[in-house]
Each structure stands twice: as structure tokens, then as C-alpha cells.
Amino acid sequence: MLRRIGRITIVGSLVSMGAHGQDLAAVQVPGAHIQRTMALLANSTPEKRSRVRILFYGQSITAQSWWRLVAKDLQTRFPNADIDIQNRAIGGFTAPSLIATAEYDLYPFYPDLLVFHVYGGGQMDKWEAIIRRTRERTAAEILLWTHHWIGREGDLAESARIREIAVKYDCGLVDVMPRWQAALKQRNIEPKAVLRDSIHLNDEGCTMLADMIMPFLVHDPALLTDRSQGLAREIGLDSPDVKRMPGGGIEVAFSGNRIDAIASTQTAVGDLATLTVDGRAPAEIAGAFALTKPSNAPHTWFPAIKVIGHEAPLVAETWTATFLECSPDAKEFRYSVSGSVTGPDGEGNHKDTFVSNSKRVVIQGGDNWGRVPWSLTYSKKPMPETYKVTWRVVPLFADAVQFAPVNNPASERSVTLVKGIPNASHIVRLTPKPGMPLDLASFRVYRPPLATTE
């Protein structure tokens, strides 16, 4: 059942984000709206270690060393959890740019917890869209924070919008702005005292920010909401949603866009079973592939291409765009595109939209390539004599059910059968290979709280 409230479509019985009586104070309670993740961490034991994925995402402030202090604190406080912490922030990418790279970095990674901050770049609608899409495409919990104070009036307005977004989308919120101002006032120092330039934090500033974020990453069972619990659920083999098939197969009915299989202590290592989703191979389901971020523009950390699309179904392969001709300032160029499976697939140029012969690659011209000429000006270095941009198409599904060995027998052995598919009702069927019994413990299904609006 779907029902529409304003611009947001709600899945099933979940209530409207931000429309259930909560206020700004509620999202600022330490641990608010992140208790599924914090419970995984806190309830891990030496005998049963949970796997937890945490992603820090944003731009240069998010990439600074403070996040390592937060990561170390989590690993110290929760030594019995297997924590995969990554930071994929891109310096200089405000929301209008980061909304493109989130397609590569954020949604396919599918974290349990997203820790997010970025500047709006004059387009806070793009800022909100990143959070909305995270709610539409993943079951991640989200912790936001407002800007630190450097004396810019525009940061006050953006921070106000971040507060509104936190309430609207049930995100935890660290309201850094007033805390930062109070800390500066208490110490009688100017904003620049904790900066290394006009905006970036020095070591003292990084410590300040970490000290403001860490207290919010706490376990408080009283704060666990039905919405957080509904993001992911375990399905045991005795569940009515699980059907045993002739020959030892298993069929699982679920609602969501991701399902993991969890091994038992008896589950063998190796190729156990094939799978279908809704009667088809996973590769045939919409959303079952993702692109990795394109390689960097010359001499910089920016991806050379912001957005790469496609009009035809994808296959797993590596793509290369090779520059054929290029002006000294890189403002005019031609390139060819080739896939490791598809083969040579056409030529394009800097200004026009390129659609490859197979239609597996679509690249807009103009600003979509803007970091290439910018990189030469920034670095004061010439265009390389040979230059290529590469990216990969990667599957978001398992070709076969395989459980890799783990170093610690207490660690969870699990495999994502499929993720990123439409957030709807599905049936996954596992067919065992000859002589390979499916001695599984359970399944875990993930259900994003919002239906896709675009």
C-alpha cells in the first residue's frame, strides 16, 4: 500500500517522515534515529560479532582528520563488532556536485549509518535531494551536522535548512553551529584560531568537531523507534515467508530492495547455490548494477566526469574513455570509449552528449567534464600526453551463493544476494548445487522507508 503525503510517498504502514509530532529538540537527543546501528555495535559480543558499515560522506571538512578520531572512538568502545568505516568525501564538491557522485559512492555502498555534511553551494534543494535519495534507496540511518562558525552569514541560513531536513527525514542531528559559537565565546577566541585557512580546521578545530560528534554516537534502547527497527529485519528459516522447495531449494518472499543470506555454523564454504529474483537472473533486474566513480581529472582528486548514464542494460565490465585529441587548455577534446566486454563503442567530444553505439554509456558534454580543464589551471601543469578515464560496472548481486571464510569464528558470515533493486515485493529462490545442502541460519531484508519519487 502506498499513500502520498505532500511530495513524499510512504511505503506500507510507515508514517510520514517528520510528520509524527517530533520537533527539532527530538532529533538532537544523543543517539536519536541511529539506534539500529548503535544496537548492532553495543550488542556485539566476543561470541557473536555483528558486521556494521559506516560511511562518512561530504566534502573537504568531512575528509579532515577529525573523522579518524570518531572512528577510533567507535572501534575502542565497541571492540567486539566488525566495523567497516569508510570516508568517501570529495574536497571541493558542494551539494550540486556531490549529488552526482553519491550515485557511485553512497547508495551502492549501502551503509548501516551515514554520517553526512556538505555545503549547499547555493542549492540546498540538492542537499535535501541527497538525503531523500538515501531514504529512498537504502535503509541507512543518518546523522547530520550543521556548519561550524567561521563568520559567514550564509552559513546560518544553510544550517537552518539542515535542521529542517533532519526533522523532515528522521535524521539524528548534531547542531554544531551554536556549539561552535559558544565554544569560541567561552574561550574568547576568534573563529580563525581553530582554522588552518579561511574555512578548514586546524588540529585543534578537528578535535573540537570530533568532541561534538562523538557524544551523539551512543546506544540508548529507549530511543529505538519502530521506523528504525523496520529498516532491516531477520527472517528465520521457520518464517512463513520462507518456503522449502523440492530438492533442498529455498524460496524467500520479502518487501524491500536488499536481501542478505546469513550462514550457520554448519554452512559450507564455497559455491552453494544459484539464485533468481522474481523468476529471473539478478542481472536482469533494474538497479542490479552500479558504476564506480570515474578516475580523476589530471593532477587532482576530482573525478574527471561527474555523471555517466546509460540507455541499454548494463553488464559487468571496465570502461575506458581515451583522449584522442586535446587542446592545450583541455577546453576542447575528442575521446573514444571502449568496454572490456562491449569492445570499441564510439567517439565523443567535449561539448556534445555522447551516446555509445551499445547505448551502455551516455556522457553529457560541457560542465560534466569541467574538472578536466580546471585541473590544469589549478595544478599549473600541462595535459598529460596520454590520458584515459576509467570506471567499472559492478554487480550489486551474487552470481552464486558463496560464503567466504572468516578469520574469527564469531564473525558473521553473510552474503548480499541482491541490493539496489526496486523497493517492492520480491521472491528470491535459491537452488542448491548438487551435493551442497543449504544449511543457512536466516535471511536479513532491508526496506528503505520512502518510495522512489524520481
**Cell triple for 291:** 558504476
Q: Taking 50 as the threshold, does the pLDDT of residue 292 lie above it? A: yes
What's the domain count of the chain? 3
Return the pLDDT at 7.
30
Question: Are 335 and 279 in the same domain?
Answer: no
Return the pLDDT at 22.
64
- pLDDT tens string 204-227: 999 999 999 999 999 999 999 888
Mean pLDDT of 226-255: 94
The percentage of the chain sitting over the pLDDT mark of 70, rounded to a whole number, equals: 95
Residue 194: pLDDT band (50, 70, 90) is very high
Burial of 256 (C-beta count, 10 Å sphere; 0-12/13-18/19+)? buried
Average pLDDT, the chain: 93
Distances from the Cα of 290 to the Cα of 141, 180, 419, angstroms: 21, 39, 10
- pLDDT tens string 92-133: 999 999 999 999 999 999 999 999 999 999 999 999 999 999
Return the pLDDT at 18.
44
Which structural domain, as residue segments, surrounds residue 240?
231-288+396-446
Give the domain-ending residue among 227, 252, 275: 227
Question: Are 191 and 68 in the same domain?
Answer: yes
Question: Are 297 and 275 in the same domain?
Answer: no
Residue 177: pLDDT band (50, 70, 90) is very high
Mean pLDDT of 304-330: 97
Question: Are 153 and 122 in the same domain?
Answer: yes
Question: Are 348 and 209 in the same domain?
Answer: no
Give the domain-ending residue among 357, 374, 395: 395
Question: Are 22 and 121 in the same domain?
Answer: yes
Return the pLDDT at 21.
45
User: Could you tell me the strand order of the sheet in which 289-291 lies?
Assistant: 289-291, 388-395, 317-326, 333-339, 343-349
In a domain, 453, yes or no: no
Residue whose grid cell is 586535446: 326
In a domain, 353, yes or no: yes
Distance CA 259, CA 127 (A): 28
Distance CA 173, CA 298 (A): 37
- pLDDT tens string 372-418: 999 999 999 999 999 999 999 999 999 889 888 888 999 999 999 99
CATH code of the domain in which 187 resides: 3.40.50.1110
Angle at 239 between CA 235 and CA 244, to 5 degrees: 105
Q: How many CB atoms lie within 10 A of CB 41?
A: 23
Q: Which residues, including other chains, have CB under 8 Å from residue 384's CB and lie 6 or more apart? A: 298
Mean pLDDT of 247-276: 92
**Cell triple for 345:** 563503442
Question: Are 76 and 117 in the same domain?
Answer: yes
Give the domain-ending residue among 395, 413, 438: 395
Question: Are 97 and 190 in the same domain?
Answer: yes
Mean pLDDT of 271-294: 94
In a domain, 452, yes or no: no
Q: Taking 90 as the threshold, does the pLDDT of residue 346 lie above it? A: yes
Q: Which residues, including other chains, have CB under 8 Å from residue 156's CB and lie 6 or more apart? A: 177
Mean pLDDT of 439-448: 96
Question: Are 22 and 39 in the same domain?
Answer: yes
Q: What is the pTM for the complete model shown?
A: 0.93
Q: Taking 70 as the threshold, does the pLDDT of residue 242 lie above it? A: yes
Tell me which of 1-15, 187-201, 209-223, 232-246 is least confident. Answer: 1-15
